[in-house]
Structure 1
Amino acid sequence: MDTAGFTNLLTRPGPYATVLADVSQDSDNAAHAKELRVRAACEELSAQGAPPDVVAEVSDRLAANVRLPAPAARVVVATPEGVAYDQVAVAEVPNQVATWDPLPDLGSWIAARDSSVSFVLVLVDHAGGEISLWDSGLPRPTSTTTVEGDELEHVQKVQDDVGWAAYRMQQTTDNVWRHNADKVAEEVTRLVRDHGHDLVLVGGDPHSVSRLRDVLADQPVEVVELESGQRAADGGEEALHDAIRSALMDRVVRQRTALVRRLEEAWGRGDRAATGVRDVADAFVTGRVETLLIDPDALAGRTLDPADHPGLTFGEAPVSGPVEAGEALVAAAVLTDAQVCVLPASVLGDAPVAALLRWA
């Protein structure tokens, strides 16, 4: 997971109230259950010493309705200066989080969001295409663009030269279709450049899809052709959604498999990997961590004392004495632009945390 979105969090001095809660509200009973969960989270914050005004701000954010299908997760992080982070997503919340700590408690939120994928969905046909930007943790696209292609020019057929007229018609048709696919590819290229997406899912007319893939071949993106997907209103929406889910699941599995393989190779060479809380913390001191690999459940209850790692800092947060190891390592990742990914301890050498390093 890219940690850039958390950067502003650590410009505040803290302490931090962090709540991750299920805010699903898809029925009357669910609304009451949500109210009880919010109340329990706020009571927990108060019991840990969070000031009443901080608790009130968190409560107000959590109580607000969200337009998401169940399961809906919301994370709110607040300090005495106000709410510093507030995000929602379609995700399960296995265990509610409510902490008042020197650092934000983001491990469970990262676990909920780590399998989400940002992607571009392109449905293309001879007439143009529809391009939408998606986050798989949200039920609707963040933006949609329609590219209207050129219309096919009418070619008058001549009665005494039907063969030549048909040839001219086919040539004109092919040129227009290629041009329309190129217009769609041009818009996809612009969106990828502006938004940084590296996965493009393409569905629609096979000839237009093939042309689009050829044009995008030189772009720094992975292009995946969907098994189903049409731009027309009756193009099989359920089949399209199934094809998208399958492509995204394949992407997540391949990414995690690649991380495990890289970690195993680094262990085999004896370099570019750190394992365990102490070694990973030392690697953060020298700015060597490229990707932090955590098992939030295995990290729970483990502590880290910054005094044991001279040079390990947490932005504006005045940390003294032992803190939760998971909170400290995620904060260090945020401040050093490291990625954070969630993997089970069983593939991390039975350690709760490991790291892939930028250099040995």
Structure 2
Amino acid sequence: MASRAGSTGIDASLYRREGQWCTALVDVSLGTTAAQEAVDALPGVVGKLLASQQASEADIAALAEALVPAQGHASPVARFVAVNNGEVVLDELIDGLKVEAADVDCGPFPNLVALARARGGQFPYLVAEASKDGGEVRLYHSSVQGVGESRGVTGDPEEAHHARKVPGRYDEPKNRSNTEEIWRRNADELAKQIDELARENYVRLIVLAGDIKARELVASKLGSAHKPITSILEQHTRTGGADQAAFAAAVQGQVDEVLGRDVEELSKRVANRTGNDRPDLALGFDEVVAALQQAQADTVLVGQYQDDETLMALDADPWLCGEDSEEHSESVIGSWPAPEVLLRATALTDATIRYVPEGVLPEGVGIAALLRWPNAAEPAT
């Protein structure tokens, strides 16, 4: 499966694949008889819509097979599926998104806007729970339900607690030293697992909980690059009576803090560049299109959806142009709604796209871009 849309946008390799694409965004919520009946009917409904857009039989069959209900997910939940040449390339559940009617699209490149909006700004993070006889570390993504990867460290409980079984022996310096050495060894192994997962997945947050002594040991052994992004929760979660709901809420609070800081930072970056002299900020639709054409846009910020605009998609650099442009006519592959073409150009120029809340962009501005290099100064008159 191709990589998900994240804070850096959609995987550009998706747009480089040849052949026809078919995408579908559908509601797969359960919970009522009517909802179950609606999900059961999806393959037929979507199949007819695909056929009306001249989708191939292979694409219709592959996409219809992927339209299964979201067992274990709270309503509402949507499923986004993208098929290329009869192969399911993306199959994602989007929690919290209510889809009123199936949204189906076929064309020479995938329409990934719905997925990008749902996933934009997501980041990977780790949750580690430590105990004296081992621990576990799990990889998550901030807007994806479920564990991405899990690793555990299991020490020998008998070895670790042997001295406690002999009355009066644990207090002896030798036995106490041996037991503490076992705890340190387990903590060292768990810290190595955390560092490895964090490094491989570019995580932005590590949440550490568990036995107080064990989590202190683990925290002290983490690599210097990961200590600043580690948050310690004062919860011993590896016990039978642990409140898992409270723990999950505390972890989500840490995730929300990171997301909030992201939006605040973007808002500050825009505010610092807004004014008469803003050589490294593009404001408005036309300026953003021009910046993308030059691969100058570093981060595209979308406050309003730009649904009322259309753009021409090109099969080579600069990847897009305006409807009235007479340039690049040999590269034009067609005209589409601006959100689709903008997202494609953003990915193909290795830029970031973020769908931001109200207040980040100046009043009356629906789209902007932070630039990789400043615009040339206007010549003096």
1:38-57 correspondence runs (5 A): 39-47=44-52, 49-51=53-55, 53=57, 56-57=60-61
- How far apart in 2 are the matches of 1:303 and 1:279? 15
Higher RCO (CA-CA < 8 Å; seq separation 6+): 1
Q: Deviations over 1:283-310 (max 9, x none)?
A: 2222222222224x52223112358xx9
Report the CA distance between 1:14 and its aligned residue. 5.0
1:228 aligns with 2:241: no
Report the CA distance between 1:124 and its aligned residue. 0.3
1:68·1:138 contact (CA, 8 Å) conserved in 2? Answer: no
1:358 aligns with 2:362: no
Question: Equivalent residue for 2:68?
Answer: 64
Question: Equivalent residue for 1:305?
Answer: 312
Report the CA distance between 1:183 and its aligned residue. 1.6
For residue 29 of structure 1, the aligned residue among 34, 41, 47 is 34
1:277·1:304 contact (CA, 8 Å) conserved in 2? Answer: no
**Structure 2 unaligned spans of 5+:** 1-5, 321-330, 375-381
Question: Equivalent residue for 1:328?
Answer: 341
- One-letter code of the match for 2:249? D
Deviates more, 1:54-63 or 1:12-21: 54-63
- How far apart in 1 are the matches of 2:213 and 2:164? 25
Question: Equivalent residue for 2:291?
Answer: 283
1:119·1:197 contact (CA, 8 Å) conserved in 2? Answer: yes
1:116·1:135 contact (CA, 8 Å) conserved in 2? Answer: yes
- How far apart in 1 are the matches of 2:144 and 2:150? 14
1:93 aligns with 2:97: yes
Question: Equivalent residue for 2:24?
Answer: 19
2:130·2:214 contact (CA, 8 Å) conserved in 1? Answer: yes
1:179 aligns with 2:185: yes
1:290·1:355 contact (CA, 8 Å) conserved in 2? Answer: yes
Scaled by the length of structure 2, what TM-score is found? 0.78
Question: Equivalent residue for 1:133?
Answer: 139
Question: Equivalent residue for 1:205?
Answer: 211
Q: How many residue pairs were aligned?
A: 350
For residue 357 of structure 2, the aligned residue among 344, 347, 352 is 344
For residue 250 of structure 1, the aligned residue among 251, 257, 267 is 257
- How far apart in 2 are the matches of 1:259 and 1:68? 35
1:305 is paired with a residue whose SS is strand
**Structure 1 unaligned spans of 5+:** none
1:347 is paired with a residue whose SS is coil
CA pair 341-244 structure 1, distance change in 2 beyond 3 A: same
Report the CA distance between 1:123 and its aligned residue. 0.3
- One-letter code of the match for 2:290? D
- How far apart in 2 are the matches of 1:21 and 1:157? 59
CA pair 58-26 structure 1, distance change in 2 beyond 3 A: farther
1:306·1:312 contact (CA, 8 Å) conserved in 2? Answer: no
Structure having the larger proportion of residues in helix: 1
Identity %: 24
CA pair 103-351 structure 1, distance change in 2 beyond 3 A: farther
CA pair 135-311 structure 1, distance change in 2 beyond 3 A: closer
Report the CA distance between 1:339 and its aligned residue. 2.1
Question: Equivalent residue for 1:109?
Answer: 115
1:345·1:351 contact (CA, 8 Å) conserved in 2? Answer: no
Q: CA RMSD in A?
A: 3.4
Question: Equivalent residue for 2:245?
Answer: 238
Deviates more, 1:193-202 or 1:322-331: 193-202
CA pair 57-353 structure 1, distance change in 2 beyond 3 A: farther
